[in-house]
Amino acid sequence: MSDLPKCPKCQSEYTYADGALYICPECAHEWGADAGAAPAEARRIWRDANGNELQDGDSVTVIKDLKVKGSSATVKVGTKVKNIRLVDGDHDIDCRIEGFGAMQLKSEFVRKA
């Protein structure tokens, strides 16, 4: 008996391996050996200035004075930001800084606290 997996589309047991892919001859479905894992491009990893991985809800500290666009105020070095939210885009951290309100920061200007 073969130890190849059944086709996830039609449940056929006549699958065969072709390199890194499995192929079903009945429905022509092709899938990889790691079909259950999320693709690498689907899961983005955000890192701080020191290379530590950031996650939603982390607390970070600002490592550089940051000018606030549209204001004469500056976010000072050492400002602690709690409960960050990671987003895709140019500025990859959504947060709320006391005294400034809602802001977006770049992960290269913070370090994990």
Residue-wise pLDDT for 12-53, tens only, equals 888 988 888 888 999 988 888 765 544 444 578 999 999 999
Task: Indicate whether this model's pTM tops 0.85.
Answer: no
103 C-beta neighbours (distance < 10 Å), count: 16
Q: Which two tokens stand for residue 56?
A: 């939603």
Q: Which amino acid is at 72?
A: S
Q: Do 17 and 5 touch, CB atoms closer than 8 A?
A: no
